[in-house]
Copies of this chain bind each other. A is one copy, B any other.
């Protein structure tokens, strides 16, 4: 397959690029370093520096990996993206090219506008570049479980059959996201669904939960091939923040009551899911949606997991409840379906103490670089 990875420099984009290259596919990775720029501007640099994308591709080859073609440019620039599609003629376009931080999108007007403009325009351009230059290309779009919010009914996989006053129809599952970033992914889904209906695109929209993990067979070849590890309040997920707090000897900061439940998955499982989706493409005119996570945890449960792993590493880990900077339910019903990817063959890697202690080990190796000022919330939702 000719695999185009948009956002190829990202936490998921880079391991995805190596994963497909290792399996013999022709891979092109595209990025404009937007996340690197924002991380620098907001003082949210990762725990350890990662080489730029060109260098990563070089180091990967030097470590015995296969060739990954790199293009640096902006997916929100249609002339650039159209040329990428026209030149590379992808069979599958894996679209990660979005501003991925919820707190960043909630800072103020400029950050919100950048997020809306960048994410919508990138998705719009992927749609049009596909229609104009690779009409049979399968778009694999990374959405988020956050699109659904926390409704009081079971969350189905993207769609819901509604019976209303004696009549029936099938609709996109209702969405109500908790940040502007998550809302841009709702808009992406609406946009994709429109062009799927009218122009017969083939699209898989993956509603993914927060991903954790650093180790993959490819990234383990050379320390310089590791994914980005952000632990700050802007780009860091709750798992990364907790791991770094455990190593730094500061309390794990639970926002509010800590009953917020989400679906999580290991980086290895993201790679499996993307490969499974790419290997059995959606039909023309189909918007196929999968919920992409393997386990649900409350924030309190995550804190407990990290405490147990910390104890195994002889770290004294305490927990502190902070006033919640976000506007979200801290106790809620949460029962999302996630059968589709399992049916395609996903074999989950659950969050074991072993996986967490391995990650703690990687953090300990860089403990002198931890900047405790980055961890506490700097952005409030109001």
Roughly how many angstroms separate A112 CA and B183 CA in the complex, as a whole number?
Answer: 21
Contact residues of A between 109 and 164, Cβ < 8 Å to B: 109, 112-113, 116-117, 120-121, 124, 128, 132, 151-154, 160, 162-164
Roughly how many angstroms separate A161 CA and B300 CA in the complex, as a whole number?
Answer: 32
Instruction: Let me know if A176 is at the binding interface, CB within 8 A.
Output: yes
Q: Which residues of B contact A112 (CB under 8 A)?
A: 124, 128
Copies held by the complex: 2
Instruction: Let me know if A33 is at the binding interface, CB within 8 A.
Output: no
A199 nearest CB neighbor, chain B only: B382
- Interface, chain A (partner B; CB < 8 A): 78, 109, 112-113, 116-117, 120-121, 124, 128, 132, 151-154, 160, 162-165, 167-169, 171-172, 174-177, 180, 183, 186-187, 190-191, 193-194, 197-199, 327, 333, 381-382
Min CB–CB distance A146 → chain B (angstroms): 12
Instruction: Identify which of B128, B175, B176 contacts A109 (C-beta below 8 A).
Output: B128
Q: Which residues of B contact A197 (CB under 8 A)?
A: 176, 327
Instruction: Identify which of B78, B168, B176, B198 contacts A171 (C-beta below 8 A).
Output: B176
Contact B180 A167 (CB under 8 A): no
Roughly how many angstroms separate A160 CA and B359 CA in the complex, as a whole number?
Answer: 45
9 interchain pairs (CB within 8 A)? A116-B124, A120-B187, A153-B167, A153-B168, A160-B164, A176-B197, A177-B194, A183-B190, A186-B190
Instruction: Identify which of B151, B169, B183 contacts A194 (C-beta below 8 A).
Output: B183
Contact B168 A198 (CB under 8 A): no
Q: Which residues of B contact A117 (CB under 8 A)?
A: 117, 121
Contact B169 A171 (CB under 8 A): no
Q: Which residues of B contact A109 (CB under 8 A)?
A: 78, 128, 132
Query: When A and B form their complex, which 8 residue pairs have the shortest distance between CB atoms, in order from nearest?
Result: A171-B174, A152-B169, A153-B164, A183-B194, A153-B167, A187-B187, A151-B169, A109-B128
Min CB–CB distance A33 → chain B (angstroms): 23
Q: Which residues of B contact A162 (CB under 8 A)?
A: 153, 160, 162, 174
Roughly how many angstroms separate A186 CA and B198 CA in the complex, as a whole number?
Answer: 16
Min CB–CB distance A291 → chain B (angstroms): 16
Q: Which residues of B contact A116 (CB under 8 A)?
A: 120, 124, 191
Min CB–CB distance A205 → chain B (angstroms): 15
A165 nearest CB neighbor, chain B only: B154
Q: Which residues of B contact A163 (CB under 8 A)?
A: 153
New A-B contacts (19) at CB < 8 Å, excluding given A117-B121, A151-B171, A154-B165: A112-B124, A113-B121, A117-B117, A152-B167, A153-B164, A153-B167, A154-B167, A160-B162, A162-B162, A167-B333, A171-B176, A172-B174, A177-B194, A180-B194, A187-B187, A190-B190, A198-B327, A198-B381, A198-B382
Roughly how many angstroms separate A163 CA and B161 CA in the complex, as a whole number?
Answer: 11
